[in-house]
A and B are shown apart, each in its own frame.
Chain A
Amino acid sequence: MTRSTRLRFTGIAAVATVALAACGGAAGSRASGSSAPVDGGDLTIARAQDIISMDKTTTFDNNSIYVMEQIMEPLFTVSADGTKVEPYLATDYTVSADKLTYTIKLRKGVTFSDGKPLTAADVKFSIDEDTKTGGDGWGFINTAIDQVKAVDDSTVEVKLKYAWAPLLADLSLFSNGIVPNNYGGKTAQEFYQAPVGTGPFVWDRWQKGQYVKVTANKKYWSPKKPHLASVTWTVVPDANTRKLQLQGGQIDVDDTPDWSSFSSMKNAPGINAQTFPSTRMDYISLNQQRQPFQDVHVRRAIAYALDRNAMVKAVLYGNGTPATSLLSPGTPFFDKNAGGATYDVAKAKQELAQSSVPQGFSTSLLIASGNPDQASVAQIMQSELKAIGIDLKITQLDPTANKQARLKSDFDMAMQAWTMDIPDPDEWTSFAVDPAGGSHSSFTYYNNPAVIALNKQAQTEIDNTKRADLYSQLQKTTSEDAYLTYLYYSPYVFAMTDKVKGFAVTPLGNYHLEDVYKAK
């Protein structure tokens, strides 16, 4: 299908700032295996953390989002490969000649789990509720929307303030998931205690700190789905305990085992340890408010000094690839020739020699405590930077304190990671290169007017070929500027018993449990 249109973008780029990970919608059938799906059974997924809230409009926590996506569904969803938007609760749409009006047809025969039919009024209410949250929730994602109108029971009209390329991608975000009009007569707070949607599963109960459970929606619109009778997400903070629970047959899926457990489970009998392509990139932010990071030669020297292959080997046990661009390979318009630096000590020394600090300097790297991956990367970096004369001190702060330091740009260098929420690069590029995007260019204070202009042009460019070209230029220039030190791309990782079939994760991190079943 055609990607949405784009024209002029006048709003602030903050519109496109979106939180880490999580993402909207999901995709069609991915059931694997040759035998027919088995109906029934409970799928138990163990994760390190509990959910926080089911309020789709204000929740930024992935664990919560992956659960709410099973209950509330958006009009569009991301394709299995994560690069396209597909109709979901919508079946069809048309765009006006001026690209300002989208007329969307709703899928017929869809009911909420309480039996009430899905209507355009529900859609209008759901999107408006999200928009209303503005900067305090996910509402900023809808900034381009002027109004949503229910034309008739099965037709919705979305009018835009200006043509906006990522509209359908935005509508595929979970925050635009559809709930009953007026929350079925409840307050928002009451409603999200036990949300109702059109999704394959129905809210059952939440024992805080222990587990959250959903059961099959008997009225689900996709015939014969879901296969599972219920899904339970249990809270198991310790990675080793999750691994043992999986081996002991107490759980079916271990969500995000650490890399060392993962490699040991790869060959374990009865266990299927799998990676799924993601949009995750780990990178270092170089704070240009601090010396000497305004100097492009210093930034390039650091970029050349790092052996990313060694990091992938040591940290990810080989399950990843060195990062070479601002965008990840799973993101639309990724350019594999973006020219990100690769390991070259001679070049690193040469760049440093040309810089304002030819004799080297001392600096620090902020990482999150309790994160073995970041600790290993930091140690590798320490020794590699030492080789070119940079003395690196490692600062560890627990995740919340770490975030505070990054928000205040209170660091020299900081290790960060990004995953996409929508299948459109704009979410990330506006955050990463536009100082007005809310984060001072990912907390670096990087400010290159040429790059900012490219990003704005790409937001409103209608033609996909031209858009790809704009994003290519953007990726090349940011690589030359080396304002972020790209580290590596890593996949999502799950371990499950070999009885679990049809479990797949999109590059945006979400999964479709209506396709999953447990073999006998």
Chain B
Amino acid sequence: MLDRFRFVPLRLLQSIPVIFGVTVVVFFMVHLLPGNPALAILGQTATPARVASLSHQLGLDKPLWDQYLLFLGHLVQGNLGTSITYQRPVSELVLQAVPITMSLLLFALVLALVISVPLAAVAASAPGRARDLAVRAFTLVGQGMPQFWVGIMLILLLAVKAKAFPVGGYGESALEHWYYLFLPALTLAIAMCPTIIRSLRASTINVLGSDYVGTARSKGAAGVALFRLHVVRNAAIPTVSIIGVNLGYLVGGSLVIERVFAVPGLGSLMINAIFARDFPTIQAVALVVALFVIVVGILTDVVYTAIDPRVDLGSRELA
């Protein structure tokens, strides 16, 4: 069984050139932006001489290649550099933001599943009937609404009017964190649901029509038991890949949502760093996001392999 997961270390190895590529692209794209951090730090009356002196102090007057090699050298040693804005190690800032964004994404995923699975089951159990049409209408509406707008509407309804949730922020204790993250996670979940529901509904209908479900039915299985024992696992397989791909996109979506809800995660860190031209921080966040996408890709395959015993990615890749 474990043998089927031998693709994982190989995949991790393959990700090294990918990450290297990301560092090249991000580093040089960031330096294409006009304006440097010295300008962002100094006040309105900064003279060109002062900008030059601070740029020198920050090492920004070195040739770009030297700066890149220095960055890469530090990176290999696990050093992400020092934030130009805060004059603190970037790793400190990133380590503070990563758990926040990851919790948000995880929370969103859980909520999306909690909403999607029952709805998809309801829809698939009676294709073409009223409840199916209702679910499908919901997915269409869900897909049509821009995320930030959904966020603002949720804030207006649940936070400002009903006062059931905070408008934004992150709170202090662990319990508060989940409470504060509920609305942003729900916003992201609503964006994810339509795709999951559609995929799950289609595959469930497919599975329900298959011979083995017919057999199970003839043996008396029905209702929840039928779903649990014979349908869910098989119907889930295509959806797992879709969720994997979507989680990657979700990181992008979370940047906007973090802003709307004032969540101090990677997205907020990234946006501020871009405006301040805090190059080391921008690079670090981009790296972390790339890593995340890679890990999600691998995890997707792991789950895929785990739920479908017929899948053996290792043999294909090693062959």
Contact = CB atoms under 8 A, between A and B. Distances in A.
A405 B178 CA distance: 44
Contacts of B262: 46, 234-238, 241, 245
Contact of B166 (A14, A60, A248, A431): A248
B273 to A, nearest CB: 10
A310 B50 CA distance: 39
Given A208-B93, A236-B168, A407 B264 contact: no
Nearest to A428: B45
A210 B97 CA distance: 10
Size category, B interface? 35 or more
B40 A400 contact: yes
A398 interface: yes
Contacts of B36: 400, 404
A52 interface: yes
B150 interface: no
Contacts of A103: none
Contact of A209 (B42, B97, B167): B97
Interface in B18-52: 33-36, 39-51
By CB atoms of chain A within 10 A, which of B35, B92, B259 has the most? B35
Which of A234, A245, A397 is the most central at the interface, judged by chain B CB atoms within 10 Å of its CB?
A245
Given A247-B160, A407-B51, A241 B167 contact: yes
A240 B272 CA distance: 18
A19 B46 contact: yes
A397 B54 CA distance: 22
Given A17-B45, A135-B49, A241 B40 contact: no
Contacts of A210: 169-170, 264
A18 B45 contact: yes
Contacts of B40: 399-400, 403
A14 B169 contact: no
Interface string A391-423: 000000111111111011000000000100000
Contacts of A401: 33-35
Interface string A2-18: 00000000000010011
Interface in A202-238: 207-210, 234-238
B87 interface: yes
Given A235-B264, A401-B33, A135 B50 contact: yes
B34 A397 contact: yes
B137 to A, nearest CB: 29
Contacts of B168: 236, 241, 244-245, 250
A248 B167 contact: yes
A237 B160 contact: no
B44 A19 contact: yes
B61 to A, nearest CB: 15
Given A60-B43, A244-B160, A400 B152 contact: no
B191 interface: no
Contact of B272 (A19, A50, A405): A50
A240 B262 CA distance: 11
Interface in A336-365: none
A380 interface: no
B260 A241 contact: yes
A136 B38 CA distance: 11
A237 B259 contact: yes
B156 interface: yes
B41 A136 contact: no
A53 B43 contact: no
A240 to B, nearest CB: 7
A31 interface: no
A248 B35 contact: no
A397 B155 CA distance: 32
Interface in B264-300: 264, 268-269, 271-272, 275-277
A136 B50 contact: yes
B169 A248 contact: no
B307 to A, nearest CB: 38
Q: Most chain-A CB neighbours within 10 Å: which of B41, B44, B46? A: B44
A161 B184 CA distance: 59
A248 B163 contact: yes
A438 interface: yes
B96 interface: yes
B86 interface: yes
A60 B42 contact: yes
Contacts of B306: none
B159 interface: yes
A142 interface: no
B46 A407 contact: yes
A404 B166 contact: no
Nearest to A209: B264
A14 B49 CA distance: 12
Contacts of A431: 45
B7 interface: no
A496 to B, nearest CB: 16
Interface in A446-465: none
A321 to B, nearest CB: 23
B39 A238 contact: no
Indicate the member of A234, A237, A247, A398 with the most B CB atoms within 10 Å: A237
Nearest to A431: B45
A250 B166 contact: yes
Interface in B33-82: 33-36, 39-51, 53-54
A294 interface: no
12 contacts: A19-B45, A20-B45, A52-B85, A136-B54, A209-B268, A236-B169, A240-B260, A241-B262, A245-B168, A250-B169, A403-B35, A439-B45
Interface of A: 14, 17-21, 46, 49-50, 52-53, 60, 135-136, 207-210, 234-238, 240-241, 244-245, 247-250, 397-405, 407-408, 418, 431, 438-439
Given A20-B44, A438-B47, 4 more contacts: A240-B260, A244-B167, A400-B276, A404-B34
Interface pairs A-B: 3 shortest CB-CB? A19-B43, A60-B43, A400-B35
